[in-house]
Structure 1
Amino acid sequence: MVLLHKRLTFVATVYFILASMSLVAQTPDFSKSLFDKYDTYKETAITHRRFKHKDLVPLIQKLPFEKQVAGKSFEGRDLYQIKLGNGPIKVLLWSQMHGDEPTATMALLDIFRFFQAKNDGFDELRQSILANTTLYFVPMLNPDGAERYQRRTATEIDMNRDALRFQTPEGALLKKLQDDLKPEFSFNLHDKNTRYSAGKSGKQATVSFLATSFDVERSWNPTRTRAMQVICSMSEALQNFIPGHLGRWNDEHEPRAFGDNVAKWGSSLILIESGGYKDDVEKQFIRKLNFVAILTGLQSIAEKSYTNYTLATYEALPNNERYLFDVLIRNAAFDYKGKIVIKDIGIDLIEKNTKNATGFTIKSVIEEMGDLSTFWGIKEIDATGLQVRPLVDFPDLIKAHALSKEVIQDKDINLDEQANFVLAKGNEVKYVILNGQIK
């Protein structure tokens, strides 16, 4: 009788596992279709990063969803909350708490268009999300910063370091929303430096994730574990489109940061950091990746399919590292009074806002020289057999490019200066580097 009971228990356990596997297999994976059909939903009114609050407001006001002005920025700009769905699981998503991090704001506009569509093959996905979750969106939480295209608020406070004092009205609003809504999940949507690499590699960390730590010990509890599992569903989807370009943000506890405190306050906090991708200056491709990732994450929350993932999957994501320069020139020869020295040159390109922060110029800087064999460049030149020469050695080149006196450096190529020089073989010019740009 005991043996029979054990056999029945074993059969029941196997049946449960198989049934669960069958249920998982039946969960539709919409990520590839979302990626393929993305252009159908892209909000074409905004196609560049430096859009302003005045560009965003008309798009929000015409949305057919429940919306309200939840608060105002320090300079009096309206902070909107948009609500979708009527399910039991509350999810709060906010973007651009740093004014110069707009990628996810653009993706949220695309997601709003997605939820207005129908009869496109995604009705089942929309129904699942809207029936099981209630979504609260706060796009562009820092409009004053966006106006200046700067990280900080109008009061020069980093809002993401204001989760203890609440000196910014925008940060105080975010805390109020957390207290009032008590969301089970929260999405904290950011951009990051484009020179972060996915681990120790030459690949940019295009999208990175983090389940934020709620204490100094970086402990795990059910709240943080749920965030990690949702991240696994999103990263798995994006691996189809950017293999090797996904990363994991540093989980060192920052007691002043909203992400860490939201996790402490009981909401599963999912941090998304949008980095760089080659030749995607305005981050339109990364915007598309955000669109797919966020909808995939919302599906996994709505259907609770995230429960199938383990910590091992999360920990397999490589850490964000700093192994990239914008331009890396390898094996370049320098002539020091007749002695040839071989050095690599690491160049970074830094954006500077133009007037009213509607555009930008590039200022290059030679960040490092020497043996950079353990680093990579987003763009690279193998200068083996080529010598670094100053522009002043090539008067015809100066005339052809109409170069100003500020660009024409003296004979020394130094650290912390603009990258303006020539790579030549004898007197034959092979590459011209003007302000870090390869000509």
Structure 2
Amino acid sequence: MIDFKQIFLSCKEDKVAGRYVTNEDVFPFLEASIFKNEIKQVGKSVLGEPIKLITIGGGETKILMWSQMHGNESTTTKAVLDFINFLEEPSDLQSSILKKCTIQIIPILNPDGAKAYTRINANEIDLNRDAQDRSQPESIILRQVYENFKPDFCFNLHDQRTIFNVGETNKPATVSFLAPAFNKERALSPSREKSMQLIVAMNSVLQNFIPGQVGRYDDGFNSNCVGDAFQMLNTPTILFESGHFPEDYEREKTREFIFYSLLKGVETIANNSLNNFKVSSYFEIPENGKQFLDLIIYNTKNIVTTYSEVDSLGILYKEVLKDDKVVFEPVVAEVKNLDNFYAHKTLNLLNSSDLDFVKNNNLLSTALLGN
């Protein structure tokens, strides 16, 4: 049995934390790695930032991973660094993986977006909608790495917003997966079935730690998305989506669960044990809903002057980069039909302590609050 928790605690990279992760955080880590001689620059971003690739292992089965294709989606990057740390420490599992697999990782594909903390690149292009045109240098780099490496599996690593719940439940989608479609009919193919089996394997571990908090991402087909494009090329590709865990806006707990997923996924590939997991079980993972708000504030009528006609307000946090730190600014998102939503936190303005909390933490601007 793999002790996922203990392994994570032993290899978590403490020097890289929080939501703001850039080349300045990752490159020193890479240069200190025992695999540093296997690092190469594979190109530059729009603004001339280096994009680096690390190769680990010498096995026959090839796995390609890339993170921060969207610059403001850094949770998986942190988990990738933890995974590299794991691969540096001798163990039976580490030895087996390095012997059977060759792993290539691009820790940050969109360094300009990472630095600016934006989804898009410096040309304001979503790289995950550029798989066919490949109009951007970052898109060209990823495709060249893919074509040169010829991977047997691809891990497409992302973050998702706090709005997602699992199915119709009040459980947050802390981790979501997708086996991307390869055609409009969303049919099955051998490569897509392998993606599904690998997701089932990873979910089997996560349910021990976050039961009911794993969702299935929407599989609408879009050939411009990289996962769909690689699936069209018959390469099993898995979309990872890091989501919300209660009170974890820095996504340090979610990072842990992504690490478990990476470790189980690679271990399953290395042991050639995909057939231990059923394709049908993939469809038992509930699809994501979009029913979460970050905060619902009850009994706002006559207290919040701008919305004096409603009893409650739904709040979503906007992630804003200030002084190299991500802050979460509250924005009123819903003022009615709140019965259809869940909240990561609730407050009641009839409760003096909750009212003080709202004021002291600027959860509503002074312009909205009456005296």
Q: Is the Cα contact below 8 Å between 2:39 and 2:55 reproduced in 1?
A: yes
Counterpart pick for 2:48 among 76, 84, 101: 76
> For residues 155 and 93 of structure 2, what CA distance do their matches in structure 1 show?
19
SS in 1 for 2:335: strand
TM-score (norm 1): 0.77
CA RMSD of aligned residues (A): 2.5
Cα distance per residue 1:83-140 (max 9 Å; x no partner): 111111111011111100011111111111111112xxxx221122112111111110
- The residue type equivalent to 1:195 in the other structure is I
SS in 1 for 2:294: strand
Counterpart pick for 1:370 among 319, 325, 336: 336
> For residues 371 and 48 of structure 1, what CA distance do their matches in structure 2 show?
33
Which residue is 1:250 aligned to? 218
Structure 1 residue 261 and structure 2 residue 219: aligned?
Answer: no
1:168–1:238 CA distance, 2 compared to 1 (3 A): same
Q: Is the Cα contact below 8 Å between 1:184 and 1:266 reproduced in 2?
A: no
Structure 1 residue 117 and structure 2 residue 117: aligned?
Answer: no
Equivalent residue pairs, number: 361
Q: Is the Cα contact below 8 Å between 1:82 and 1:138 reproduced in 2?
A: yes
> For residues 421 and 112 of structure 1, what CA distance do their matches in structure 2 show?
52
SS in 1 for 2:344: strand
State the identity %. 34
- Structure with the bigger percentage of strand: 1
Alignment of 1:257-296 (within 5 A): 257-296=225-264
Structure 1 residue 58 and structure 2 residue 19: aligned?
Answer: no
> For residues 111 and 324 of structure 1, what CA distance do their matches in structure 2 show?
30
Q: Which runs of 5+ in 2 are unaligned?
A: none
Which residue is 1:46 aligned to? 16
> For residues 276 and 167 of structure 1, what CA distance do their matches in structure 2 show?
32
Q: Is the Cα contact below 8 Å between 1:103 and 1:287 reproduced in 2?
A: yes
Q: Is the Cα contact below 8 Å between 2:22 and 2:108 reproduced in 1?
A: no
1:211–1:402 CA distance, 2 compared to 1 (3 A): closer
> For residues 364 and 376 of structure 1, what CA distance do their matches in structure 2 show?
16
SS in 2 for 1:360: strand
1:334 shift after superposition: 5.7
1:258 shift after superposition: 0.5
1:421 shift after superposition: 6.2
Alignment of 1:405-424 (within 5 A): 407-409=365-367, 420=369
Counterpart pick for 1:212 among 165, 180, 183: 180
1:345 shift after superposition: 2.5
1:202–1:334 CA distance, 2 compared to 1 (3 A): farther
> Which one scores higher on RCO, CA 8 angstroms, separation ≥ 6?
2
1:308 shift after superposition: 1.7
Which residue is 2:320 aligned to? 352
1:170 shift after superposition: 0.9
SS in 2 for 1:241: coil
- The residue type equivalent to 1:57 in the other structure is F
1:351–1:86 CA distance, 2 compared to 1 (3 A): same
Query: For structure 1, which segment, 106-115 or 58-67, has the greater mean C-alpha deviation from structure 2 after superposition?
Result: 58-67
SS in 2 for 1:175: helix
1:330 shift after superposition: 4.7
Q: Which runs of 5+ in 1 are unaligned?
A: 1-28, 392-396, 414-419, 423-439
Cα distance per residue 1:353-392 (max 9 Å; x no partner): 214xx11333322222234223211112467xx499xx9x
TM-score (norm 2): 0.91
> For residues 407 and 84 of structure 1, what CA distance do their matches in structure 2 show?
50
